[in-house]
Amino acid sequence: MAEANLLESAFVYLTATVVSVPIAKRIGLGSVLGYLIAGAIIGPYVLNLVGDPENVMHTAEFGVVIMLFLIGLELQPSLLWRLRTAILGMGGLQVVVTGAIATGLGTALGLTWQVALAVGLTLSLSSTAIVLQSLREKGIAGTEAGRSTFAVLLFQDIAIIPMLALFPFLATLSVAGDGAAAKGALAAYPGWAQGLAVVVAVGLIVLAGRVLLRPMFRWVAASGLHEILTAFALLLVVGVALLMQFVGISPALGAFVAGVVLADSEFRHQIESDIDPFRGLLLGLFFISVGAGINFALLIAQPWLILGLVLALVLVKASVMFIVARAFGRKTGEAALIGLGLAQGGEFAFVLFAFAKGAGVIPAEVTAPLIVAVALSMAITPLLLMAGDWAMRRLESGSGEDRAPEVEEGHHDVIVAGYGRFGQIVGRMLSTYGYKISVLDHDADQVDVLRGFGRKVNFGDATRIDLLRLAGAAEAKLLIVAIDNDEKALELVETAREAFPNLKILARAIDRRHAYQLMAAKVDGLERETFAAAVRLGVKSLQIMGKPAFAAERAGMIFSRYDERALTAMFQDWQRVEFADYQRIVRDRTALEEELLKRDMIALVGKSDGDEWGEETLEREAFERNLARKAKPD
Amino acid sequence: MPKSVLILFAHPSYARSRANRALRAVAQDRDHVTVHDLYETYPNFLIDVEAEQRSLLDHDHIVLMHPFFWYSAPSLVKEWLDVVLDYGWAYGEGGTALAGKTWTQAITTGGPAQSYCSDGLNRFSIEELLRPFQATANLCQCIWQTPFILHASRQATPEILAEAAAKFSAMLEGLIDG
């Protein structure tokens, strides 16, 4: 590809991203759908801005390679062990049942059993990239439903290896000349030999990862150059991918295996942080490529076939997953979210279809409409997830057979919303003083754990007015908002402020921006969740550095006062002006504040251990103190 | 049998006080003398009352050592008096925990000795100005000792400081032996 073309493509991709992702996010569709739409628009079938669709797929492949490497990297043995039941049970059952049903349907539609099986297994996979990204964005990655979803995806990611090994045995077609050229150097050998080669190659990588990698990484790390480590990590990915390509497996799967092998190594975090900057953009690139890869020509030519395929795919996958999740004890709402979330085809489908076509397993006329159907099913994932999220909220907090909110009615002095690490401390302090507190938490697991410790905790979503009222918000004096989700916390403050005007509200702020939002929502007071602890550690640091305890203590107090005053002042700026102006104001103000703060702290603590002596120092400090006092803005 | 001395040391910016460093040096790490730095122990003013009372019971002599801030003591000393010298413990009904112990005020002043008299800048003698402490000691049934005073501590030359430190040391020796 010529350099001008590369720049042009980059320009088109970046423009599409910058325009459509913020729009998609703002209207609540999530970034993934934004990328997909951007891709579809610039793709060969709409604006045709990126030229040759082949180029798009090549670019996408590298995104997939890096993404799979990172996914592999996260597969630590400890995580696998903790989720073993969910992974093997739910994941295994999902793949087998979905695969079986799809195979049956395929056979019924006239495919040979070998083709139907390959198609069925391929379609049983879901999109790790889209689902994980969306779950993270929606803030449900850490919930029970999120963990189950992750476990199933994990099993699917691993299941690809045996699938790739199995496919050559299903080959019934003679491989066309150009198809073979596109595959590895071993394509001329029979299917079973290729399968063996794959197994040997994976074994080689595992062995090399255990024996060679550590010394090599140490040697590179010893150079002390950060970018060389990044380069080495990338080289590793590319190298393994090439080897896998040689034995006829997609580079993406190679990278995945490399990631798994490295998940154990002590360099895991180093590699992760080195490659992570590439992750977001490359993932975006991947989603754009999927969007661009949707063959609208085929869609227009055979709309009913494609739509029927998408519908069947989503219906079968969602129902199977729902039943499997229910069988494993997930609640109805959770199962609905898991099922709908995993109803799409996955990015591995593209990989497997390409491999299957090359290996003579599935004919091209079967893969072409399936690829379009999978891409479309991926594109509607954000919508399906929204539906699943809605279903879970409705079923899990509604009056269904599942866990209804459990709120003890009656009079309480204080309502504490969110009873995690933060809320518990506040709650315990208030209880110690004999105040009657009502505790609300929407995490069912957390509630059960706390109840196991003998604490009285109500289960329910505090942002719901009726639950707040039930807990006694109308008579209570104070509401503590200690939820760790910034948007939920803000929502609760706004709701409660409006519904219960006499209720005092104190809130936990996640960060400075959140503090501003809470102040704008008129909380009666707030604490930034890490601020006080960080100041305390600063005080301890000053002591370790040799400052007297009292001086260090005062320095902490002075610092807190400055920062809190600055927060109030900057909040006014933040409300008043545009972001760019705000940044400038903060910059100027910070510079001034820090100068003043420095004077005050030095006057108190002294610059270093050496110059605290003698009359001269004392006089200069008194002078500086006076100067600082005069210069103070208040 | 040597007696034990508890020095309650209070200076909010001790690192900068040459006088108090010089005096403290002769008390620090000395047998039978405990130097208890209040500002270092309670930088947030939250005094551990029980620990303080136990420590008082463990010693025979009490020395309050501090700069003579505003004709009195740094604020933590006042807080200490307020919370440690409890009713029913140090004074009042059954409050005899400190009875018979000696009480010595060891102070450093900014002004010279001659300023502490009816004609001087400070109008009153040190003796008069220390009356609140003396009354406190009295109520706790402690034996009030002649205060140790280092005047004009900021202007003190190394020679003067050395001399003061020697006198302070001798005073401590007297307490230990007596």
Contact partners, residue A205, CB within 8 Å, separation at least 6: A240, A243, A254, A257, A258, A261
Q: Which residues of A440-456 are buried (b: 16+ CB within 10 A; e: fewer)?
A: bbbbbeebeebeeeeee
Angle formed by the axes of helices A92-108 and A303-327, to 10°? 150
Distance CA B31, CA B29 (A): 7
Q: Is B45 on the interface with A (CB under 8 A)?
A: no
A230 and A371 in a single domain? The answer is yes
pLDDT > 90 fraction of chain B, expressed in percent and rounded: 87
A379 and A279 in a single domain? The answer is yes
Write the DSSP assignment of A389-457 as a string of letters: HHHHHHHHHSSSSS---B---S--SEEEE--SHHHHHHHHHHHHTT--EEEEE--HHHHHHHHHTT---
Which chain A residues are within 8 Å of B15, Cβ to Cβ? 548, 551, 606, 612
Cβ atoms A163, A199 nearer than 8 A? no
A356 vs A500, residue with greater confidence: A500
pLDDT > 70 fraction of chain A, expressed in percent and rounded: 82
For the sheet with A478-481, list strands across it. Answer: A458-459, A437-441, A414-417, A478-481, A504-509, A525-528
- The verdict on a CB contact (< 8 Å) between A548 and B154 is no
How many beta-carbon contacts under 8 Å exist across A and B? Answer: 32
Question: What is the pLDDT averaged over residues A333-359?
Answer: 83
Asked if pLDDT for residue A176 goes beyond 70, the answer is: no
Distance CA B26, CA B167 (A): 10
Cβ atoms B109, B149 nearer than 8 A? yes
Q: Which chain B residue lies closest to A549 (C-alpha atoms)?
A: B40
If we measure between CA atoms, which residue out of B142, B141, B111 comes closest to residue B126? B111
Write down the pLDDT at residue B105.
97
* CATH number of the domain encompassing residue B57: 3.40.50.360
CB atoms within 10 A of CB A6: 12
Which chain A residues are within 8 Å of B154, Cβ to Cβ? 615
- Distance (Å) from the C-alpha of residue B38 to the closest C-alpha of chain A? 9
A509 and A553 in a single domain? The answer is no
Write down the pLDDT at residue B98.
97
Cβ atoms A138, A30 nearer than 8 A? yes
Q: Which domain holds residue A114?
A: 3-397
The band of A3, judged by pLDDT with boundaries at 50, 70 and 90, is: very low
| Domain end call among A479, A503, A529 | A529
How many domains does the structure of chain B reveal?
1
Distance CA B141, CA B94 (A): 12
If we measure between CA atoms, which residue out of A616, A55, A388 comes closest to residue B18? A616
Contact partners, residue A110, CB within 8 Å, separation at least 6: none
How many domains does the structure of chain A reveal?
3
Distance CA B156, CA B161 (A): 6
Distance CA A133, CA A113 (A): 35
Cβ atoms A320, A94 nearer than 8 A? yes
Write down the pLDDT at residue A479.
95
- The verdict on a CB contact (< 8 Å) between B43 and A549 is yes
Question: What is the pLDDT averaged over residues A583-596?
Answer: 76
The band of A622, judged by pLDDT with boundaries at 50, 70 and 90, is: low
Write down the pLDDT at residue A627.
59
Asked if pLDDT for residue A606 goes beyond 70, the answer is: no
Which chain A residues are within 8 Å of B16, Cβ to Cβ? 606, 612-613, 617-618
| Domain end call among A397, A423, A444 | A397
Write down the pLDDT at residue A88.
86
A633 vs A236, residue with greater confidence: A236
- The verdict on a CB contact (< 8 Å) between B154 and A615 is yes
Write down the pLDDT at residue A605.
57
Question: What is the pLDDT averaged over residues A262-288?
Answer: 72
- pLDDT tens digits, A440-466: 888 777 777 777 777 777 877 788 887
List residues of chain A with CB under 8 Å from any CB of chain B.
Answer: 548-554, 604, 606, 612-615, 617-618
- Compute CA A405 distance to the chain's CA centroid, rounded to the nearest angstrom: 28
Q: Which residues of A408-430 are buried (b: 16+ CB within 10 A; e: fewer)?
A: eeeebbbbbbbbeebbbebbeeb
Asked if pLDDT for residue A633 goes beyond 50, the answer is: no
Q: Is B110 on the interface with A (CB under 8 A)?
A: no
Q: Which of B16, B18, B43 is closest, CB to CB, to A550?
A: B43
If we measure between CA atoms, which residue out of A211, A208, A187 comes closest to residue A198? A187
* CATH number of the domain encompassing residue A519: 3.40.50.720
Distance CA A378, CA B94 (A): 83
A376 and A510 in a single domain? The answer is no
Q: Which domain holds residue B93?
A: 5-177
CA dist A563 → A110, A121, A558, A582 (Å): 72, 58, 9, 17
Q: Which of B18, B39, B154 is closest, CB to CB, to A548?
A: B39
Contact partners, residue A82, CB within 8 Å, separation at least 6: none
Q: Is B157 on the interface with A (CB under 8 A)?
A: no
Asked if pLDDT for residue B159 goes beyond 70, the answer is: yes
DSSP state at residue A522:
T
Structure token digits, residue B20? 């108090």
Write down the pLDDT at residue B31.
94
DSSP state at residue A91:
I
- The verdict on a CB contact (< 8 Å) between A550 and B154 is no
- Distance (Å) from the C-alpha of residue B12 to the closest C-alpha of chain A? 7
A417 and A565 in a single domain? The answer is no
Which chain B residues are within 8 Å of A551, Cβ to Cβ? 13, 15
Q: What are phi and psi of A553, to 5 degrees?
A: -60, -45
Cβ atoms A597, A562 nearer than 8 A? yes
Asked if pLDDT for residue A609 goes beyond 50, the answer is: no
Cβ atoms A241, A254 nearer than 8 A? yes
If we measure between CA atoms, which residue out of A262, A242, A263 comes closest to residue A253? A242
With H, G, I as helix, E, B as strand and everything else as coil, classify residue A459: strand
Q: What angle do CA A232, A233, A235 make, to 5 degrees?
A: 60
A231 and A341 in a single domain? The answer is yes
Q: What angle do CA A130, A132, A137 make, to 5 degrees?
A: 95
Asked if pLDDT for residue A470 goes beyond 50, the answer is: yes
Least confident of A180-189, A301-310, B114-123: A180-189
Which chain A residues are within 8 Å of B43, Cβ to Cβ? 548-550, 552-554
The band of A226, judged by pLDDT with boundaries at 50, 70 and 90, is: confident
Write down the pLDDT at residue A399.
38
Asked if pLDDT for residue A504 goes beyond 80, the answer is: yes
The band of A186, judged by pLDDT with boundaries at 50, 70 and 90, is: low
Write down the pLDDT at residue A1.
40
Least confident of A224-238, A395-409, B154-168: A395-409
Asked if pLDDT for residue A280 goes beyond 50, the answer is: yes
Asked if pLDDT for residue A153 goes beyond 60, the answer is: yes
Output the average pLDDT for chain B: 94
Distance CA A287, CA B47 (A): 62
Most confident of A19-33, A50-64, A554-568: A554-568
Write the DSSP assignment of A308-339 as a string of letters: HHHHHHHHHHHHHHHHHHHHTT--HHHHHHHH
Cβ atoms A411, A472 nearer than 8 A? yes
A125 and A150 in a single domain? The answer is yes
Q: Which chain A residue lies closest to B11 (C-alpha atoms)?
A: A550
* H/E stretch holding B144: strand B143-144
Asked if pLDDT for residue A300 goes beyond 90, the answer is: no
- pLDDT tens digits, A394-444: 776 543 335 666 666 667 889 999 988 899 999 989 988 889 888 888 877
Half-sphere exposure for B72 (CA within 13 Å, toward CB): 10
- pLDDT tens digits, A139-152: 676 677 888 888 89
If we measure between CA atoms, which residue out of A166, A291, A294, A274 comes closest to residue A217? A274
Asked if pLDDT for residue A115 goes beyond 50, the answer is: yes
- pLDDT tens digits, B75-132: 999 999 999 999 999 999 999 999 999 999 999 998 999 999 999 899 999 999 999 9
Cβ atoms A549, A599 nearer than 8 A? no
Most confident of A1-15, A159-173, A317-331, B26-40: B26-40
Q: Which of A549, A614, A618 is closest, CB to CB, to B40?
A: A549
CB atoms within 10 A of CB A316: 19
Write down the pLDDT at residue A198.
75
The band of A257, judged by pLDDT with boundaries at 50, 70 and 90, is: confident
- Distance (Å) from the C-alpha of residue A538 to the closest C-alpha of chain B? 14
- pLDDT tens digits, A505-563: 999 999 888 999 999 999 999 999 999 999 999 999 999 998 889 989 988 998 898 88
A519 and A543 in a single domain? The answer is no
Contact partners, residue B159, CB within 8 Å, separation at least 6: none
CB atoms within 10 A of CB B157: 8
